[in-house]
Amino acid sequence: MPTVQPAGPGHPYGQHVLELRLAEVAHAARGKRNHTLYRAGLRLFSLAAGGVLDRDQVEAGLLAAAEHAGLLADEPTQTRATISSAEKVGSRHPAGVPARDRPPRNRAVGRPERRRERGEERERDG
């Protein structure tokens, strides 16, 4: 997937992803919190490595979200180890902002039921 490297950290795309991922961690169910933290860390640290987010902002956000979820209180050593591990792996895979020339994922282009809803009839070979 082609990506665009922003001029510096703080791109709106990165901020949006940061907010979404931190909310996932903060509200993760018991038993899934550490896994959710790791997956969010991978994505966010890869965006930091690509220059889309600030690394310190990512770490602080993950710690705050883990605290909100109760993970820091329940497993402080494991929580910090998970964040560290996510940073090591995520930073090896820099990610940028997705290029705009790609259609959105949720778009129903080409799906027959959507075309009919829009009033487009599907042509059939006779």
Tens of pLDDT, residue by residue over 33-51, are 999 999 999 999 999 999 9
CA 96, CA 91: separation in Å to the nearest integer? Answer: 12
In this predicted structure, the answer to whether residue 65 has a pLDDT above a threshold of 60 is: yes
Convert the pLDDT of each residue in 67-108 to its tens digit: 999 999 999 999 999 999 999 999 999 998 887 655 556 655
C-alpha dist (Å) from residue 46 to 26, 38, 60, 68: 20, 12, 15, 23
Assign residue 57 a region: left if phi > 0, alpha if psi is -120 to 50, beta otherwise?
Answer: alpha
Could you give the angle at the alpha carbon of 84 between the alpha carbons of 78 and 85, nearest 5°? 85
Domain boundaries, the chain: 7-98
